[in-house]
Amino acid sequence: MNRPVLVILLIVLGGLGLASLFTVSETEYAIRFQLGRIVKSDYEPGLHIKLPFVNNIRKYDRRILTLDTSPEPMLTSEQKFVEVDSFVKWRIVDVATFYSATQGNEAQALNRLSDIVDDRLRNQIASRTLAEVVSEQRVSTMQDIATSANSAASEFGIEVVDVRIKSIELPDDVRESVFRRMAADRQKAANLYRFEGREEAERIRSDADRQAQIILAEAERDGQRLRGEGDAIATKTFAEAYNADQEFYSFYRSLQAYRNAFDGPGDVLVLDPSTEFFDYFGGDSGSGE
């Protein structure tokens, strides 16, 4: 065999060798077909062998994927329309069943999954009131939807991991009425708080006025008591001074009377010289002589 033929043969054998090998990653499922029939679908991650031109390989993602649906109008149990926007977390759990049920068309699988979730979501919303849909029951609603949808989706090799409601919007007319009712409720609460505030303010003012009256009364009482005690001490002092030297005390009081009588410039006092007021103006003994 000449050299060129050997080279060509080696190239052909190398190409056949490469064509007979394929790899499967940790994030993939792989299905091996033979003449359109599934031969094997449980490949582990790694390097594998196939028959060139006889087997063909198709791969699918084994990771959790997201189906983001469009907002849909739905009716609550009160016959009120709401617009529900949701998304679905899903993954392929049986790639052979998935391929057989959808012919390997992922778009077809997503359409069927969307219909299943949408149907379950409508049923759950229809069984609840608007208040229940937007309240803490929203979590249990999503769990019920995921459980119900998962049982139906398992028929074509899909597991519904989770269903989440992104938003629940009211139609414009309903939203306006809800806003008005909410505004009225908030206004009612605000009025109640204002009334309670005014009532508390009046109570505080009344208590402050009462405390002020008590303080003033106690101060007046203490002042009267102190003034009385002071007057008593002054009277006692005057009495003791008078008893110690009555003549000097009379002289001292007369001097005070003279000072007060002639306090202003140009004061004129017309009195009888023989009156008691002038006792100390004359004689040495204060007899007025």
Lowest-confidence pick of 17-21, 67-71, 188-192, 277-281:
277-281
Can you give the pLDDT at residue 195? 92
Last residue of a domain, one of 123, 151, 170: 170
Cβ-Cβ contacts under 8 Å for 175 (sequence gap 6 or more): 169
Residues 98 and 148 grouped into a single domain: yes
Residues 152 and 213 grouped into a single domain: no
Lowest-confidence pick of 67-76, 127-136, 231-240:
127-136
Give CA–CA dist 134/144, Å, rounded. 15
Q: Is the dihedral of CA 28, 34, 36, 40 positive or negative?
A: negative
Task: Give Cα 205 to chain centroid, integer Å.
Answer: 34
Can you give the pLDDT at residue 286? 45
With CA atoms as reference, report the closest residue to 64 among 142, 164, 192: 164
Residues 201 and 256 grouped into a single domain: no
Can you give the pLDDT at residue 288? 41
**What 3-state class would DSSP assign to 26?**
coil
Half-sphere exposure of 189 (CA within 13 A, CB side): 6
Take residue 182 and report the two structure tokens written for it: 């909410």
Residues 185 and 253 grouped into a single domain: no
Stretch (H or E) spanning 55: strand 55-61
The CATH code of the domain that includes 72 is: 3.30.479.30
Residues 147 and 85 grouped into a single domain: yes
Can you give the pLDDT at residue 287? 43
Can you give the pLDDT at residue 289? 38
Under the banding of pLDDT at 50, 70 and 90, the label for residue 84 is confident
Residues 132 and 70 grouped into a single domain: yes
Residues 76 and 16 grouped into a single domain: no
99-126 as b/e: b if 16+ CB within 10 A? bebbeeeeeebbebbbebbbebbbebbe
Residues 162 and 186 grouped into a single domain: no
pLDDT tens column, 205-259: 999 999 999 999 999 999 999 999 998 998 888 788 777 777 777 777 777 776 7
With CA atoms as reference, report the closest residue to 90 among 45, 153, 8, 170: 153
Tokens 């992922």 correspond to 106
Last residue of a domain, one of 154, 170, 186: 170
Q: What percent of the chain has pLDDT over 90?
A: 18
Is 164:143 a contact under the CB 8 Å cutoff? Answer: no
Can you give the pLDDT at residue 209? 92
Report DSSP state, residue 71. P
Residues 36 and 24 grouped into a single domain: yes
Residue 32 pairs with which residues in a beta bridge? Answer: 40, 57
pLDDT tens column, 145-154: 888 888 888 8
Task: Please tell me the total count of domains within the chain.
Answer: 4
Q: Which domain holds residue 10?
A: 3-61
Termini Cα distance of the chain: 182
Is 90 exceeded by the pLDDT of residue 21? no
Last residue of a domain, one of 136, 170, 204: 170
Residues 156 and 180 grouped into a single domain: no
Can you give the pLDDT at residue 2? 67
Residues 57 and 74 grouped into a single domain: no
Can you give the pLDDT at residue 146? 87
With CA atoms as reference, report the closest residue to 118 among 158, 77, 160, 80: 160
